[in-house]
């Protein structure tokens, strides 16, 4: 009974760390216009500054994997989550674009580090739990993504200044982190899952990472291009062009929160195969049909199909023989983030020389490739 209570507490604490990461990252999105206006940045300058966030995340991910292997994911989750919380308000206080870039780099470093740490902890908790629960963790991140963006706007509308609203959210993140830290499983438990010898990631880790690259690319493509597609290719009013990504996000969050039961019933292989086929079909439906409402349906299908694929990939990465879970997860996470950061830029280049519909359609084809590749791998 005591062991069950320990695992239950660790599961709850890990869920809340995923929530912290989701809230922290998404809270920055509504801050961007305020920072842009305050610093007088044009779109090109803002785009360059925003690269700092991704650079910080990618820079720290491999380092975090090594540190987790030595000190444990619990300690790294604590440090990383606190970095996110303390830096968040500074993003609005930065007096110059250079200092904003530095703050964003540190913020991104915290995001990247906690991402690796929380997934390593989730793999450990799932191992001790004895059944697939990874989707619920990623579902909580999606919930945090919705709460962060909506919550900051709500606080500002309630009369708080953007900076005070950011400080309020930071306080919440700190409270959650420091109260839940003690319930995360310690490194002594984690070390039992790690290989005693370090092995350079390759083979299965690389294949999983490349497939994760495509899934994150698909998500990043909708984040950056769905509103543009709906407005300029399907005639949506600018005020409604964000509905496509909102529909995708809600579908993904709902599917992830119920995904563990689906994986139990169907198995991981079928969830990846049919999920990527559904997501790929969603992209093609959105770009090949001329009706605006059908495009929204396509984005919903992408969210439903892709929702539980990445959790399966992280579970698989944490179970590769002779590779410490922290190292494998950090490698897969790096490749995944690379897809989310570089993918949308690639979509823009392809769209410039062809069309946005064709570029997004190619993402659907790439998801079909993942379906076939994973089935063959299994």
- Residue with more model confidence, 187 or 93: 93
DSSP 93-138: H-SSHHHHHHHHHHHHHHHHHHHHHHHHHHHHHHHHHTS--HHHHH
pLDDT surpassing 70 at residue 197: no
pLDDT surpassing 80 at residue 345: no
Q: How far apart are the first and last CA of the chain?
A: 36
In the block, residue with structure tokens 């920055």: 28
Per-residue pLDDT tens over the stretch 205-221: 889 999 999 999 998 88
- Residue with more model confidence, 363 or 315: 363
> What percentage of residues in the chain have a pLDDT greater than 90?
42
Q: What value does the mean pLDDT take over residues 21-28?
A: 88
Q: What value does the mean pLDDT take over residues 67-92?
A: 93
Per-residue burial over 314-326, b = 16 or more CB atoms within 10 Å of its CB, e = otherwise: bbbbbebeebbbb
Q: What value does the mean pLDDT take over residues 227-235?
A: 84
Per-residue burial over 250-261, b = 16 or more CB atoms within 10 Å of its CB, e = otherwise: ebbbbbbbebbe
Q: Computed over its alpha carbons, how large is the radius of gyration of the chain?
A: 20
Do the beta carbons of residue 162 and residue 92 sit within 8 Å? yes
Confidence of residue 346 (pLDDT cuts 50, 70, 90): confident
Q: Which residues contact 38 (CB under 8 A, 6 or more apart)?
A: 92
φ, ψ of residue 41 to 5 degrees: the values are -90, 140
pTM of the predicted model, to two decimals?
0.77
DSSP 35-51: HHHHHT--HHHHHHHHH
CA distances from 306 to 100, 215, 272, 273, 282 (A): 33, 7, 8, 10, 10
Please give the Cα distance from 106 to 269 (Å, whole number).
Answer: 37
pLDDT surpassing 90 at residue 177: yes
Q: Which residues contact 105 (CB under 8 A, 6 or more apart)?
A: 52, 53, 55, 56, 59
List of domains in the chain: 2-190 (1.20.1250.20), 204-377 (1.20.1250.20)
Per-residue pLDDT tens over the stretch 49-74: 877 888 898 889 888 888 888 888 99
Please give the Cα distance from 211 to 245 (Å, whole number).
Answer: 22
pLDDT surpassing 60 at residue 196: no
In the block, residue with structure tokens 């440090």: 79
The predicted pLDDT at position 43 comes to: 67
Lowest mean pLDDT among 76-85, 154-163, 182-191, 243-252: 182-191
The predicted pLDDT at position 95 comes to: 93
In the block, residue with structure tokens 């780099």: 105
pLDDT surpassing 80 at residue 317: yes
pLDDT surpassing 50 at residue 198: no
**Burial (0-12, 13-18, 19+ Cβ within 10 Å), 5:** exposed
Query: Among 108, 109, 116, which Cα is nearest to 71's?
Result: 116
The predicted pLDDT at position 202 comes to: 63
pLDDT surpassing 60 at residue 191: no
Please give the Cα distance from 261 to 224 (Å, whole number).
Answer: 31
């Amino acid at each position: 009974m005591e062991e069950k209570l320990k695992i239950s507490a660790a599961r709850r604490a890990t869920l809340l760390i995923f929530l912290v990461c989701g809230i922290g990252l998404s809270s920055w999105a509504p801050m961007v216009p305020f920072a842009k206006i305050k610093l007088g940045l044009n779109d090109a300058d803002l785009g360059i500054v925003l690269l700092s966030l991704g650079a910080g995340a990618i820079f720290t991910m491999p380092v975090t994997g090594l540190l987790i292997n030595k000190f444990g994911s619990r300690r790294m989750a604590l440090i990383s989550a606190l970095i996110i919380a303390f830096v968040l308000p500074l993003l609005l206080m930065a007096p110059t674009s250079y200092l904003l870039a530095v703050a964003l780099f540190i913020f991104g470093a915290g995001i990247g580090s906690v991402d690796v740490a929380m997934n390593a902890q989730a793999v450990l908790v799932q191992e001790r739990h004895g059944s697939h629960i990874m989707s619920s963790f990623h579902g909580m991140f999606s919930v945090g993504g919705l709460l962060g963006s909506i919550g900051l706007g709500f606080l500002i509308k309630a009369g708080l200044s953007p900076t005070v609203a950011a400080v309020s959210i930071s306080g919440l993140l700190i409270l959650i982190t420091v109260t839940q830290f003690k319930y995360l499983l310690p490194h002594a438990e984690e070390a039992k899952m790690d290989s005693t010898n370090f092995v350079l990631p390759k083979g299965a880790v690389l294949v999983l990472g490349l497939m994760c690259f495509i899934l994150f690319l698909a998500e990043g493509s909708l984040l950056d291009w769905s509103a543009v597609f709906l407005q300029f290719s399907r005639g949506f009013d600018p005020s409604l062009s964000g509905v496509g990504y909102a529909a995708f996000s809600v579908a993904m969050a709902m599917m992830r929160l119920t995904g563990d039961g689906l994986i139990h019933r169907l198995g991981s292989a079928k969830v990846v195969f049919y999920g990527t086929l559904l997501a790929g079909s969603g992209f093609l439906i959105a770009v090949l049909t001329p009706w605006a409402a059908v495009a929204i349906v396509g984005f919903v299908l992408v969210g439903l199909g892709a929702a539980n694929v990445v959790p399966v990939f992280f579970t698989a990465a944490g179970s590769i023989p002779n590779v410490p879970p922290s190292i494998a997860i950090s490698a897969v996470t790096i490749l995944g983030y690379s897809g989310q950061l570089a993918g949308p830029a690639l979509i823009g280049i392809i769209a410039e020389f062809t069309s946005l519909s064709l570029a997004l359609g190619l993402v659907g084809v790439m998801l079909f490739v993942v379906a076939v590749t994973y089935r063959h791998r299994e």
